[in-house]
Structure 1
């Protein structure tokens, strides 16, 4: 049975299907302009700490939450499709009374935001920033020949993630974060990635790599900023960011030279400044 989204006694947003989502709302009051952050696959709202601090210092209202099965949110064992995840975002915005938000996403969070806008409309969102997005389509198909072979995607899930996820993180964390991030900072990121359930990781990975947003991106109808590094090994710029920006009318593409996928740590200060400028219009 579906219910109206609400805050429970512990301060979690309880979604329409009864899943408790941990969130952080760093104030500025309900009159402050809200900036809502969506984390990547495997990561939690903690990942946006530096950019949220920049928003708070600028007098904005930074808000972030942990996706179901991630971070401190409940792990219901279901709902890792983009329709359900978009509904979760709708429930967070409604429960917290958020309107005219700047929505900021990292990596797979792009799909949640795009599906939210095409499924629920833009009454509560005024602009959208997509940082290192997975959109429009990661997998190779007949009409997307430059995508990643689905056999490679399945092998990663089967042979790397499900067999020894901690080892994969240890071997690949540096490429994600870039050469200048400290070892303690990298350990912090890897620790976050160890918190989701394997079921959430596996099912959401399949969702984010197979879902085709090419028909939805042209329908967004609001200001969009795409930010990505040109050395992104996780989501190659030419496959994701450039194509996403090209599909959204009027979108701006901002490319960080020499930057990896994990811009929220590799270029934390610069990204924060660029997001603040975008939120200011």
Structure 2
């Protein structure tokens, strides 16, 4: 693992990343509240398929440093831009999972498409999580406020429950192993508390609908139609309608954490899109 130092608003932030393989660069951007380790089942497959795979920890998560502020999507997209520039990447493929889809779209908005070949949005929050009059399928604001309250009062209890919902897990239907839930909890619980809360506010409140309409690069959208964390209709379906020429693949009965539960199929679909 390696770190680069990013200067943002006068504060130095150390961004942790891994860099494996050779070939066209694929940058993997993890979801909330995990780290680059959530891409474990994708990295080997992508490297073996002939790609250079770079996965990093969002500021405040994993082994990156955790400033008190700087968790807006503008800040996070600036971190991604610095990573791309520091590594001298061109013709990059960006893959954003869940919250990471926001970095992808905001990067294109703020920093342009010149260095980007393609993008993939996996279980992404794009374009808008929150329920509004013109987004009736979104998550009610009351539910989002309850999440913030739970994070502030008993973050660890919330994370335990959250990861079960991440996989639509129950004792009657154990979609992943108990060890997978423990692993996710370990990663998420060690994220900085302020980063966990402020990053959540970013994915809850940011409306990317206008930005999606301006995307020109080839786009793949993959989402589970049983995603209980980020509903299919308000996310993938709407993103597909907004992003001209995008390809949408729905995984039947798949949960939010399809990078784990449907890893083999996801890897095949990503590689086919990257090489297509």
Q: Same fold (TM over 0.5)?
A: yes
- TM-score bucket (shorter structure): over 0.9
Distance 2:175 2:133 in 1: 39
Q: Which moved more, 1:101-110 or 1:186-195?
A: 186-195
Root mean square deviation, CA, Å: 1.3
The alignment status of 1:127 with 2:110, answered yes or no, reads: no
Distance 1:223 1:132 in 2: 17
Which secondary structure state, in structure 2, belongs to the residue aligned with residue 69 of structure 1?
A: coil
- 5+ residue gaps, structure 2, are 169-173
Are the equivalent residues in 2 in contact too, given 1:16–1:91 (CA < 8 A)? no
Instruction: Map residues 22-171 of structure 1 onto 2, 5 A cutoff.
Output: 22-28=16-22, 32-158=23-149, 160-171=150-161
Are the equivalent residues in 1 in contact too, given 2:92–2:116 (CA < 8 A)? yes
Moved over 6 A (4+): none
Distance 2:2 2:44 in 1: 21
Distance 1:173 1:224, change over 3 A: same
Q: TM-score, normalised by structure 1?
A: 0.92
Q: TM-score, normalised by structure 2?
A: 0.93
Q: Which moved more, 1:72-81 or 1:186-195?
A: 186-195
- 5+ residue gaps, structure 1, are 1-9
The alignment status of 1:212 with 2:207, answered yes or no, reads: yes
CA positional deviation for 1:268: 1.3
Instruction: Map residues 211-230 of structure 1 onto 2, 5 A cutoff.
Output: 211-230=206-225
Are the equivalent residues in 1 in contact too, given 2:26–2:92 (CA < 8 A)? yes
Distance 1:104 1:15 in 2: 21
Instruction: Spell out, residue by residue over 1:104-157, the C-alpha distance to the aligned partner (whole angstroms, 9 max, x if none).
Output: 110011111100001101122100000011111111233323322222211211
Tell me how many residue pairs correspond in the alignment: 268
CA positional deviation for 1:38: 0.2
Alignment correspondent of 1:19? 13
Question: Quick one: which of 241, 258, 266 aligns to 1:263?
Answer: 258
